Amino acid sequence: MRTKVGSLFLGLGLIFTLSCTKYPPSSERLTEDLVVITQYDTKVDFNTYKTYSIADAIMKVTDKDTTPMTGQSADAILATIDRNMQARGFVKAVTPGIPDLGIQVVYFQNTNVYTYYYDYWGWYYPYYPYYPVYYASYTTGLANIELLDLKNVDPNNQRVSIRWNAFIRGILTGYHTVAEINGKVDQAFIQTPTLKTTP
């Protein structure tokens, strides 16, 4: 009987422990919230740029390696960027040569793991403490869309300037639909009305 009661208390303790496991607060949680931040070079006249090219893959950067991303969400992001650029008067380069602008998307992914320890003493463990370990994890993601100036490369050190970029946090973590992801990419362009040119 004692064993059954002890098991019952241990089970209740486990349930209580899991129920009290703290998920990161909203200020630190990046998985659910899609937030868009854009910045651009205010001294640049985008009307001087006419053509662009876009990378055919999103580069995924983790603490282990860097690999190209594939799949519906990644393809949708690139297609939405493509559509917005053309809607703003830019022409996608299809012939040999260097376009005025180059677009690349880098996705930074980080998995956060939390470890919880709880001390159990008492009559069920009378001779030694019991330290159960519980783990919880969540994945954060940040996409960086960069607009590179290929028209004005510094000839001395071959440096390429970034004229516009957009940071979208929480994207590509698997928590959002393609429509939601595309909406945030659209929002990045909406936030920068000066990013346009005359064909």
- Cα gap 145→27, rounded to integer Å: 23
The predicted-structure confidence for 13-50, as pLDDT tens digits, reads as follows 443 444 344 444 544 544 456 789 999 999 999 999 99
pLDDT value, residue 84: 97
More confident residue, 99 or 71: 99
Confidence band for 100, pLDDT divided at 50, 70 and 90: very high
For domain 24-112+136-190, give the CATH number. Answer: 3.30.160.670
The domains of the chain are located at 24-112+136-190
Using N-to-C axis directions, what is the helix angle for 178-190 and 72-87, rounded to 10°? 30
Instruction: Decide: pTM greater than 0.85.
Output: no
pLDDT value, residue 72: 87
